[in-house]
Structure 1
Amino acid sequence: MTLTDEQQAIKDEFVRVRGTWGEPWERMLELDPAFVRAYLDFSAVPWRRSPGALSPKVRELLYIAVDAAATHLYTPGVRQHVAAALDAGATPQEIMEVLELTSTLGIHAANIGVPLLVEVLTEEGLRDGPAPLDERQEQLKAEFTKTRGYWHTFWDEILELDPDLFEAYVAFSSVPWHTGTLEPKVKELVYCAFDASATHLYVPGLKLHLRNALGHGASVAEILEMFEIASVVGIHAATTAAPILAELAEQRS
C-alpha cells in the first residue's frame, strides 16, 4: 500500500533511530501507525540518550542474549541483532561468547528443583540435614568460586546431592570465563538480561548477577539500560502475529 505522510514519517524515524525495518513493521504500520510510533519511542529510550551508558555493541549483545535464550528463541530478532552487533564492531567470537553465557540458562531447572526436592524430603522425614562435603565436593566448590568469583547458597544442595551434574556444569559454564574476551561486567549484564526477561524472570539469579555486575564495576545507569533493552521483548507478540493478521484479513477483503 502507499503510505500516508504520517506513516512514512514514522517509518523514516524508525529506520533512523533503530537502524532496521522489515515486513512485520510494515504490516503493523498499515494496521496501527500510532502503535508503531509508541513502540519506537519505548524501544528508543537507550538509543536516544546521548551519551548512552552502554556502547552500541554491548546493547546489541544484550538483545542477542534476550532473543536467543531458551525461554524465548526469537529467531528473527537473533538474526537482526547479530547483524547489528557485527556492524557495531563485535567479533564473531564475542557474539559466540554471549551465546555460551546464555546457554547456561537451563541449569535453573536444578537451581529451582533441587532445593524444592530437599524441602519435600525434609517434610516427608527422608532428610534430616545436609551431609558434609567430601574432598571432591570441596574442590569443586573452590574451583567454581575461583573461576566465577562468587558462591551462592542455591548451589549447596546441587553440589551435595549431585556432584556429577555440578562438575559437568562447572566445566560447561566456565568456558567463556576461561577463553572469552568480554569484560566480566558485560558477562554479568548478559546473565542479568536473560534472567530479567519476561520469558524467564528468574529472580534469585537476577539478584545474584546484579550484585556481581556492580562488583565488576557496572554503573546503575548501565544496569537500567540493560533493563530497558530486556523490557521490549513483549513486542514479539506483534512482530510475530501482525503479518499473520494482515495476510488473513487481506484474504477476506
Structure 2
Amino acid sequence: MQDSPDPAKLKAQVIEARGYWHPFHEGLLELAPDYLAAYLAFQDAPARSGRLEPKIREFIYIAADGAVSHLYSSGLQRHIGMALEKGATPREVLEVIELTMLTAHAPHEMGLRILAEEMAAAGSQQDEMTRPLSADEERRKKRHIEATGRWPACGDILFRLAPDFVDAFLAYEAIPYAKGTLAPKVKDMILIAVSAAPTMLDATATRRHIRAALGNGATGEEIAEILQLTSAISIHTCTAAVPALMDAIRAGA
C-alpha cells in the first residue's frame, strides 16, 4: 500500500498545477488525500503533454463549463480569466462562447430528423417533404456552406417545415464562422468539447466535429487531449458535494 501523500506538499502541488485552491481541495486533503492526488494527476496530464497551447486548453474548459447542459458559472469565470492571462483576446473568448451556444442546434438536428422519419411513416405531407429546394433556398444553403464549411443535417427539413426560422437558426453558426478569428480546427475542437462533455454525450455531433477537426489539420493526439480536458468537468461533483459534506460534518460536531 502506498504511503499517504504529504499534505503540505500536495497542497503546494495543487496550487502550482491548477492555479487556485478551492474548498473542495481542502475537504479532500483532510478526508481523502490519496483521492486528491489522483484528481491532480487526472487534471494535470493534459497540461503536461503540451499538445495544445495553454489558451486553447482554457477554451476547452470554457466550452465545457459554459454549455447549457452544465452552466458552471464559477468555472466559467475562472477559465475566462485564465484564458485572458494566457494571451487570449476578448474577441476570441466571445467566439468560444458563441460556438458553445450552438447547443441551440441540437434539438433541431435530432428532433427534426425524427419528425421527418415519423411523418414519412405516417404518409404525412409527402409532397412538401420531398419537394426540391427552390432556387432561393439553394442560394441560402450555398452561402451558409461557403461561410461555415458545413450544412446542418436538418437544414433541408427546416426549409420545408419552418421556412421563417431557417435564417435565424443558421445565423448562430454562420456568425462565429464567417466573422471569427479562431482557426477552423480550433472551432471544431470547441464543438468537440461541447458535444463529448459528460453532460451532453452527443455521439453523432462528436463524430461530425471530430471528422471536421481532422479535415482541418487537428491530430489524433490533440483530439484525445480535448476529450481528457472535457471529461475533467466531472470533478464538479466533488466541487459541489465535498464542501457540503464538510459543512455537515462541522454542523454535526
**TM-score category of the 2 structures, normalised to the smaller one:** over 0.9
Paired residue for 1:24?
Answer: 24
For structure 1, the residue ranges without an aligned partner over 5 or more in a row are none
Moved over 6 A (4+): none
Paired residue for 1:131?
Answer: 131
Task: Output the CA distance in 1 between the equivalents of 2:151 and 2:179.
Answer: 21
Task: Output the CA distance in 1 between the equivalents of 2:111 and 2:154.
Answer: 10
Q: Are the aligned partners of 1:137 and 1:163 in contact in 2 as well (CA < 8 Å)?
A: no
Paired residue for 1:63?
Answer: 61
Q: Show CA shifts across 1:118-139 (max 9, x none).
A: 1221222214452211122212
Task: Output the CA distance in 1 between the equivalents of 2:237 and 2:7.
Answer: 21
Paired residue for 2:243?
Answer: 243
Match of 2:110 among 106, 109, 112: 112
- Matched-pair identity in %: 35
The number of aligned residues is: 248
Task: Output the CA distance in 2 between the equivalents of 1:150 and 1:173.
Answer: 10
Paired residue for 2:34?
Answer: 34
Task: Output the CA distance in 1 between the equivalents of 2:84 and 2:247.
Answer: 33
- My pick for the range that moved more, 132-141 or 150-159, is 150-159
Paired residue for 1:54?
Answer: 52
Please state how far the C-alpha of 1:242 moved relative to its aligned partner. 0.8
Paired residue for 1:102?
Answer: 100
Q: Show CA shifts across 1:192-228 (max 9, x none).
A: 1000001111122111111111111111111111111
Q: Are the aligned partners of 1:196 and 1:206 in contact in 2 as well (CA < 8 Å)?
A: yes
Q: Are the aligned partners of 1:101 and 1:173 in contact in 2 as well (CA < 8 Å)?
A: yes
Q: Are the aligned partners of 1:102 and 1:190 in contact in 2 as well (CA < 8 Å)?
A: yes
Task: Output the CA distance in 2 between the equivalents of 1:140 and 1:37.
Answer: 53
Paired residue for 2:222?
Answer: 222
Q: Are the aligned partners of 1:189 and 1:223 in contact in 2 as well (CA < 8 Å)?
A: yes
TM-score by length of 2: 0.93
* Paired letter, 1:198: P
- My pick for the range that moved more, 95-104 or 151-160, is 151-160
* Paired letter, 1:123: A
Change (3 A) 1:173 1:152: closer
Q: Show CA shifts across 1:140-182 (max 9, x none).
A: 2111111111235443322332232221122222111222211
For structure 2, the residue ranges without an aligned partner over 5 or more in a row are none
TM-score by length of 1: 0.93
- My pick for the range that moved more, 127-136 or 80-89, is 127-136
User: Is 1:204 the counterpart of 2:218 in the alignment?
Assistant: no
- My pick for the range that moved more, 18-27 or 150-159, is 150-159
Q: Are the aligned partners of 2:196 and 2:202 in contact in 1 as well (CA < 8 Å)?
A: yes
SS in 2 for 1:163: coil
